[in-house]
Structure 1
């Protein structure tokens, strides 16, 4: 029926009215809205205009995807503009969540059209600016900033402000633009899973950006997000590549006074997948301090620097699936005997109590792993145990 309605609409208003009259018991509003949606997807402006003139609202509330969104999914700027202009002339609502962000992402050149059509940049501009920063749409970002969109506000869905979104996308030009237009380099992290600009650059491996932010005054003392956050040292310890660059940045952060431990000496809420002791296909979460994280990742140089700056080699594990530094190193999927040697030399307690829930001793952790590489680790730990 959708195809028949579109075909009738292509032939004009009389043909459409005649078809509807003939099949009045079968044609419902949903079918008419689906016909408009199909007309846009098939790039049939004549059919779309007929439907809008006679029988269909431009908002199509019965559909999951509104006509404006369908128009923005067209590949060509020219085609998208044609249908967006048509729909706004028929009073399509340009102020519903996510629409301006989609304009910026898919057809940023259409942003002035939506402004003229009554787009509310006070209400929806922030998510659009965050999307522009995330997608590297500098022209769109300029237009939004010129519309006085709040450059400091968070997009709650993405848990970032515009500057953090630009850093997430490793877009140096966008970062520079936002900072020169007043973005706060030390805006706090979104409180659930967010990161400050510097924490995000370090976690993302954007080392050049991290150095740039430090030169611009990024705060190494900024607290982590309340939930699932990272300090700057936790962030730099997660870098998987380029050991020398990581070590250099770790030195720089520590020299700048970055605290080794979290506020209140609490474990990190940094989450990593750790092999479950009972089911190899299951994963559990583990809260860890920077020292425990560096040990788990086999980062000897980072570990040395942290201990030299006053970290406790025997920091207590978190209550749920926590690990001391030695337990974390012994449980690591890829064990590093030299790191374990170092921990033992620095007084790591082989007999440290395991976490209350899901905890293991260092020797248990090595034994549970059951991989060839862990035999040497188990022997090291046994040799360091008076009873062994």
Structure 2
């Protein structure tokens, strides 16, 4: 493959984007008190508290002292959905509902990270800060958006949290785009999430949705006013690169995406045949055979032994109804990539079109 612009390489990696959530806490709760909280054994937990307290009457201090990697009893109980233990800790002992571990995570974040929404709701009802983020900026809304939990997203927004908190992987809108949660994306957009938010080193929400790929999310972003010509890479180029993104490409074109808009990757390397092939495909979708052929010919000149360059030339010639030239181009592609079903199908179609065209000419 031709040398890629660094941004293009990162876009390719995002074709199978990672879950934007941080890793769940690794501590195992080996401390007896934490182990009991994790298991949800309230009777054992209370007995251990009494034993460790030794009659001093400082039960909360005993509980607060038991930590692993900053994780306290409430973190462990919340992370396993042990509501009875959570109630005892919060209502019985008055532990800090927003205590943080060594990574800045609150019990609410731990519950959300593990997808335990009933416990998260309980903590919110009992004073947990709905907007408190961890050390990497992950806020409760990021986790709710990643999980695709509509009720939790609506609950957090109803409590007045920012719709655009920024973490190392973007805003909750990015999380919804990565996971393809179009319903969550719609809620966020209805609450004025910034569809053109730019985070240094990260693509726009639109580019993330394209690489997911999620046609529904792309459509929502376009309808919300996302800039279809902006990004580390031009959205059209990214959509052209992605297999199965033809629908996204058409949406972008219908929304006014322009193949002529200078692409940062193209500016970086004007001799990147892959980018020319991608742009040729964009012109094809626009129905402009002449521009498509121009890029295809330039692509083939750069990489004469690349079957995709020949294939793009054949497609452009088919659009221009030069069926003889298309047959030659597809035949060249077939020689370079024998056995390709896509090329064989295109060649067969071109030959039939040529035959039909010749027959019609003779009839006249």
What TM-score results when the alignment is normalised by the length of structure 1? Answer: 0.57
What TM-score results when the alignment is normalised by the length of structure 2? Answer: 0.61
Pairing partner for 1:190 from 173, 176, 199: 199
CA RMSD of aligned residues (A): 4.3
Select the structure with the greater relative contact order (CA < 8 A; seq sep ≥ 6). 2
Instruction: Write the distance in 1 (CA, Å) between the matches of 2:275 and 2:235.
Output: 13
Checking the alignment, whether the CA contact within 8 Å between 1:291 and 1:313 is kept in structure 2 is: no
Structure 1 residues without counterparts, runs of 5 or longer: 1-31, 268-286, 315-323, 345-369, 375-388
Instruction: Write the distance in 2 (CA, Å) between the matches of 1:331 and 1:73.
Output: 56
What is residue 167 of structure 1 aligned with on the other side? 177
Checking the alignment, whether the CA contact within 8 Å between 1:34 and 1:63 is kept in structure 2 is: no
What is residue 261 of structure 1 aligned with on the other side? 262
Pairing partner for 1:202 from 207, 210, 214: 210
What is residue 42 of structure 1 aligned with on the other side? 39
Checking the alignment, whether the CA contact within 8 Å between 2:250 and 2:285 is kept in structure 1 is: no
- 1:228-257 per-residue CA deviation (whole Å, 9 max, x = no partner) reads x333123312321264x355235325x444
Instruction: Write the distance in 2 (CA, Å) between the matches of 1:210 and 1:194.
Output: 14
What is residue 148 of structure 2 aligned with on the other side? 136
What is residue 321 of structure 2 aligned with on the other side? none
Instruction: Write the distance in 1 (CA, Å) between the matches of 2:284 and 2:249.
Output: 10
Instruction: Write the distance in 2 (CA, Å) between the matches of 1:45 and 1:304.
Output: 66
Alpha-carbon deviation of 1:145?
0.9
Pairing partner for 1:82 from 65, 76, 84: 84
Instruction: Write the distance in 2 (CA, Å) between the matches of 1:327 and 1:71.
Output: 64
May I ask how many residue pairs the two structures share in their alignment? 278
Structure 2 residues without counterparts, runs of 5 or longer: 1-28, 54-61, 318-335, 341-364
Alpha-carbon deviation of 1:288?
8.3
Pairing partner for 2:95 from 91, 95, 107: 91
Alpha-carbon deviation of 1:337?
3.4
CA pair 90-48 structure 1, distance change in 2 beyond 3 A: farther
Checking the alignment, whether the CA contact within 8 Å between 2:273 and 2:303 is kept in structure 1 is: no
- 1:201-251 per-residue CA deviation (whole Å, 9 max, x = no partner) reads 222221233223323322213x32xxxx333123312321264x3552353
Instruction: Write the distance in 1 (CA, Å) between the matches of 2:109 and 2:290.
Output: 45
Give 1:297-376 correspondences, 5 Å limit: 301-302=281-282, 304=284, 325-326=299-300, 335=308, 337-339=310-312
